Structure 1
Amino acid sequence: MTFQGSGPLAGGNVSGGGGGGGGRIAMGGGLGLVVTVVALLFGVNPGDIMGGGATSSQTSTGSDAALQEHIDNCTIEQANTDDVCRIKATAISVNKVWGDLMGDYTEPSVQIFSGNINTGCGAASSAMGPFYCPADETAYFDPGFFAELKRMGGSDGPLAQEYVVAHEFGHHVENLTGVLAKGQRMGNDGSVRVELQADCLAGVWAQHADDGPDAMLAPLTDDQIASVIQTAKAIGDDSIQGSNSNPEGWTHGSARQRQRWFTTGYESGNPTRCDTFATNDL
């Protein structure tokens, strides 16, 4: 268990199914999950990376109305057992932390979907893994990704899943501060710095998420933090592409770097320590 308390979950700006239209197409059809995860895991803007070449339809999640009802009826207790409710609860928690840390923080939207979806950044797919679109300030999640994350060597523990959500919210913070646009102008090196900063910002959230008697998260344990570090290492570029891959082609950073920057954020709790653009020692 990570969430404490009982009763309904209110807030988080979370919707199910559907999606915003417009923009260029994000990815081509037929790309397998592992292939796209290599390029886009925890990606920022799918339209910037994949380019055109596909058709897209809005998501089919069995029933968008049923999914929205599920989201609307989530409770704190369910957030400890149900992936959809865990995403919602984490969104509420992350918004609270960043609302306290940033005076000009505005909440992003959260979209839970499966299959294909239209976004402000173009057409996207569950095969891309979680991503954030700055054009519509929305973080997109398919809960089915968590099973794939475990197959890749990450953890499917609750805090590891919450780290995935907090990482995408880190991209929203970067969008608000202008870092996201700066990184996108710099090519692969900028992408790595953006991703590592989002890992660090996720660590900052984890440090503050269990603070105070009214905190949504119960006090975090060493084992829970270890599950996040395991996950961060599993999704390093060298872990996914192989240790002999060319670092100049990396877009997310090595396993060591991802572990290091999450740990920096978690141990300091200070977002100013997350300036990955101010160092040559990532």
Structure 2
Amino acid sequence: MKWEDLQTSENVEDRRGEEGGGMFGGGPRMGGGGIGLGTMVVLGIIGYALGINPALLIGGAEMLGKMRGGGQVVRQDRPQETAQPTDQMGQFVAKVLGSNEEVWSVVLPEQQGIQFKAPRLVLFDGVTDSRCGSAQSAMGPFYCPIDQKIYLDTSFFRDMKQRFGGGGDFAYAYVISHEMGHHIENLLGILPKVQRAQARAGSRAEANGLSVRVELMADCLAGVWANNGNARNRFLEEGDIEKAVASAQAIGDDRLQRASQGRVVPDSFTHGSSAQRTEWLLRGLKSGRIDDCNTFNR
């Protein structure tokens, strides 16, 4: 991926190196395999009681762990960090975010008649605070709709390559753009609607099914960014799409469940199977249109 000449975002908060960072060394857990169904039910009830749907706070990994014990999940706002990252990985993240901002500031108004408001992206080491609770690297990247920020410990990219068999610049850009996809869903009003629908769901399986649709739509919206961004800046190189597809397959619920527990439980899926994640990413890549990402009409 040729990312060096992309627009640089100014909406990056670099909290890496803060005192208290790096406390948690575990790798990311993605998909429904990392948390038991009973725990998910209990944590879901806590989330609904607090007016926060845990499943919708998930980007690349289970956000339910943030709500353990029903603790205080809403944090006070902290001063925004404005210094731009100077290391290569930090610059890469800022460039991918900037490309997303450039694309969505045009595509969202043109296709949906909605003004784009850029989120902020927080880089951190190990642990930091968010308005949705404590952000830990073991949870993977996620989007918090309360403060409209994306949280990312870039060590996830290393683990993504070493533990899940995915990797490469465009695959990492797909992860960042998936989280931006959740922000677009929030701007479209989809996240609060799904939250209300999950609160009314008659079973955990039904609520999980709604979460899967949210995640697959974010995969598709990441593809929409890639389609429109590449048309503008020609950043895709040979093999990039294959690497992103390999990453989408690696983080499917079925593959992760089979690896972690030796069996697959479709009713507990929260992100979608490998085949589904690949299908929706490629759908967005092919069309470049938001309307083609409506998982709720299929």
Normalised-by-shorter TM-score class: 0.7 to 0.9
Corresponding residue number in structure 1 for 2:276: 257
What amino acid is aligned across from residue 272 of structure 1 in structure 2? D
Per the TM alignment, residue 11 of structure 1 is displaced from its structure 2 partner at its CA by: 2.9
Residue 158 to residue 40, structure 1, CA distance change in 2 (3 Å): farther
Shift of 1:182: 2.6
Following superposition of structure 1 onto structure 2, how do residues 59-98 of structure 1 map, counting pairs within 5 Å? 69=83, 71=85, 73=86, 82-98=88-104
Q: Residue 147 of structure 1 corresponds to which residue in structure 2? A: 158
Residues 241-268 of structure 1 show CA distances to partners (whole Å, capped at 9, x for unaligned) of: 0183110100000000000000000001
Q: Which has the higher contact order (CA 8 A, sep 6+)?
A: 2
Could you tell me which residue of structure 1 aligns to residue 15 of structure 2?
A: 17
Among 165, 188, 192, which residue is 2:208 paired with? Answer: 188
**Unaligned 5+ runs, structure 2:** 17-22, 35-54, 76-80, 110-114, 199-206
Where do 5+ consecutive residues of structure 1 fail to align?
19-28, 59-66, 75-81
How far apart are residue 114 of structure 1 and its match? 1.1
* CA distance, structure 2, for counterparts of residue 70 and residue 31 of structure 1: 25
Q: Which amino acid aligns with 2:244?
A: V
Please give the alpha-carbon distance, in whole angstroms, between the structure 2 residues aligned to 1:11 and 1:48.
Answer: 26
Structure 1 position 145, deviation (Å): 0.3
Match of 2:40 in 1: none
1:189, distance to aligned residue in structure 2 (A): 0.8
Q: TM-score scaled by structure 2? A: 0.74
Stretch moving more, 120-129 or 198-207: 120-129
Partner of 1:203, secondary structure, is: helix
Shift of 1:97: 0.5
What CA deviation, in whole Å up to 9, does each residue of 1:32-82 have, x standing for no partner?
A: 435x434499x74169723234799x9xxxxxxxx97561x46xxxxxxx2
Partner of 2:78: none
Distance 1:40 1:245 in 2: 9
Q: Cα RMSD over matched residues?
A: 3.0
8 A Cα contact 1:183 1:193, kept in partner = no
**Which region of structure 1 is more displaced relative to structure 2, 241-250 or 221-230?**
241-250
SS at match of 1:239: helix
- Does 1:239 pair with 2:237? no
CA distance in 1, matches of 2:249, 2:280: 11
* Correspondence for 1:5: 5
Which of 178, 194, 198 is equivalent to 1:167?
A: 178
SS in 2 for 1:152: helix
Aligned residue identity for 1:33 = G
Distance 1:154 1:272, change over 3 A: farther
SS in 1 for 2:128: strand
Cα distance in 2 for partners of 1:157, 1:88 equals 16
Deviations 1:6-25 (A, max 9, x none): 9xx6434101118xxxxxxx
Q: Which has the higher helix share?
A: 2
Give the match for residue 38 of structure 2: none
Question: Residue 102 of structure 1: SS of its match in structure 2?
Answer: helix
Asked if the contact 1:234–1:255 (Cα under 8 Å) also holds between the matched residues in 2, the reply is: yes
> Structure 1's 110 and 150: CA in aligned 2 closer, same or farther, altered over 3 A?
same
**Match status 1:49 vs 2:43:** no
SS of corresponding position for 1:100? helix
What whole-Å deviation, never above 9, does each CA across 1:194-219 have from its counterpart, x for those lacking one? 0000000000111111223xx2x52x
The 1-side partners of 2:193 and 2:163 are apart by 30
Taking a change above 3 Å as real, the CA distance of residues 40 and 17 of structure 1, as seen in their structure-2 partners, is farther
